[in-house]
Amino acid sequence: MPTTVPVDAIIPGPPLLSADPVDRPSSDPAGESADDDPADDATGDTTDGPDRIPADLNRLLRPLFRAAGPGGGVAVAVIRGEERAVACRGTTDRSSEQPVRADTRFELGSVTKTFTGLLLAEMAARGDVRYDDPIDRYLPANARPGYPHERPITLLHLATHTSGLPRLPVGLLPAAAPRWFTRPYATFGPAHLLRALPRTPVRGTPGTQVRYSNLGCGLLGLLLANAAGQRYDDLLAARVCGPLGLVDTSCGPGREDAGGYRRGRRVPSCGLPALPGAAALRSTADDMLRYLQAHLSLDAVPLPERADATALRTALGDVRRPLIGRRRGGGTRLCLGWNQRLLGAAEGANGIGPGVGAGVGSGDGHGPGRACGDGLGGAFGEDEEVMFHTGSTRGFGTFVGFSPQAQVGLAVMAGARSLRSRGFVQNAYGTLRALVAQCRVPGATRAPSSAPRGRDAARA
């Protein structure tokens, strides 16, 4: 059953909302010992040699590498104050001896939604669209979902999972079944989606309940593309990825893609042409380092000297602002594409919604659901927060999070879908908490004004 969360409060100001809380698990969910095992050590970007990352960071990352799943490659990007590091393990393919590097591309899954949220904020800052624009404005007349139009679904509702739309499009799973072990979603394109929308049920009144929806965020990407008269991939490249210098982040295949594995078997890449804004992006540790740095400091990544750079800087600030707050137990709130967790809030054991059985962005992006057991609960101030999102496709798992106050960022991309995927997410979130706690010591320094790329970052 889909996760449904009542909206307790709408926070005034430009759009941002609340998701399920996240909590830190035990440091090693598989019950493995924390003994030093060279096989679990992370190395820097192996392009220029096996440079070791700092020993204390290596110890933090070991449980994370274990939880990421056996056999697949793993890449981790870390920002810790003034330090930058990219740690890699494994190979791009089990039949290959090519090691994972800072420029190896992984599927991001639902982390794509953070890019779509940033694109919405950028277009709103320019005046191209408004957050309260009804979706009907950017849809053909014969492709509108059936719902009472006195309270229309808006672009903001799509971005904040309050549209009432279901998790997946009508007809997607039946169409995928015959190709389940190849590329099940590849033939379900935008035309299929538009034909399915009039038959799509809308649950409740838009803007009143949080129900995680891949369909909603994917539809948002399509509507933004319609508003701009461009394909989603081209629009994202022009407005977000290009200006931020994310040279290897796109929806299509690239020159150095990692292979994805599930239960030991290679699975094809996740292609979802109908909903690229929900889960279609691929990226590298190198690019995610820059992406995190841009969110940590609005001036950290140099932007082209042109008028529209102001819109992107405004958008980077807007996506961090919570719109709808839900304080039940853990104090997690939903922003434009990101979940915000107050670290000083009570650490409840609130669960998250079930994954998508279809494997499209399997996690709901809301993070781990067990109570934290790291003993760090008292280490944070009441207003200290982290932003995060998770993602998974049929063969990849991803976690991205950052703390603006501590100037800490973490991106983890794994090319093997772990049977303990909840443990992977919880370990990643726990690692982020531990990094934030480290950077709270007196005298901790803030990040510099520029972000080294991965090959230099590995030696920071």
Q: Which is more confidently placed, 91 or 258?
A: 91
Q: Which is more confidently placed, 19 or 406?
A: 406
Per-residue pLDDT band at 259 (split at 50, 70, 90) = low
- With 80 as the cut, is the pLDDT of residue 457 above it? no
> What is the strand order of the sheet 408-414 is part of?
9-10, 324-325, 332-334, 339-342, 385-392, 397-403, 408-414, 74-80, 83-89
- With 90 as the cut, is the pLDDT of residue 123 above it? yes
Most confident of 44-53, 94-103, 107-116, 374-383: 107-116
Gap between the Cα atoms of 204 and 165, Å rounded: 9
CATH architecture of 4-457: 3-Layer(aba) Sandwich (3.40)
The domains of the chain are located at 4-457
State the pLDDT at residue 267: 60
Per-residue pLDDT band at 148 (split at 50, 70, 90) = low
187-242 pLDDT tens trace: 778 888 898 899 898 988 899 888 999 999 999 999 999 999 999 999 999 999 99
State the pLDDT at residue 401: 98
> What would the mean pLDDT of 416-432 be, rounded to a whole number?
75
Q: Which is more confidently placed, 5 or 149?
A: 149
State the pLDDT at residue 432: 95
State the pLDDT at residue 458: 36
Per-residue pLDDT band at 420 (split at 50, 70, 90) = low
Most confident of 11-15, 285-289, 299-303: 285-289
- With 90 as the cut, is the pLDDT of residue 453 above it? no
Gap between the Cα atoms of 343 and 196, Å rounded: 41
State the pLDDT at residue 254: 60
> What would the mean pLDDT of 338-347 be, rounded to a whole number?
75
> What would the mean pLDDT of 264-280 be, rounded to a whole number?
75
Gap between the Cα atoms of 340 and 18, Å rounded: 8
State the pLDDT at residue 108: 94
151-179 pLDDT tens trace: 899 999 999 999 999 998 886 766 666 66
- With 50 as the cut, is the pLDDT of residue 1 above it? no
298-339 pLDDT tens trace: 777 677 666 578 899 999 999 999 887 654 445 678 899 999
- With 90 as the cut, is the pLDDT of residue 435 above it? yes
Q: What percent of the chain has pLDDT over 70?
A: 62
47-72 pLDDT tens trace: 333 346 788 888 888 888 877 666 66
Calculate the average pLDDT of the chain: 74
State the pLDDT at residue 179: 60
> What would the mean pLDDT of 132-159 be, rounded to a whole number?
88
State the pLDDT at residue 271: 67
Per-residue pLDDT band at 289 (split at 50, 70, 90) = very high
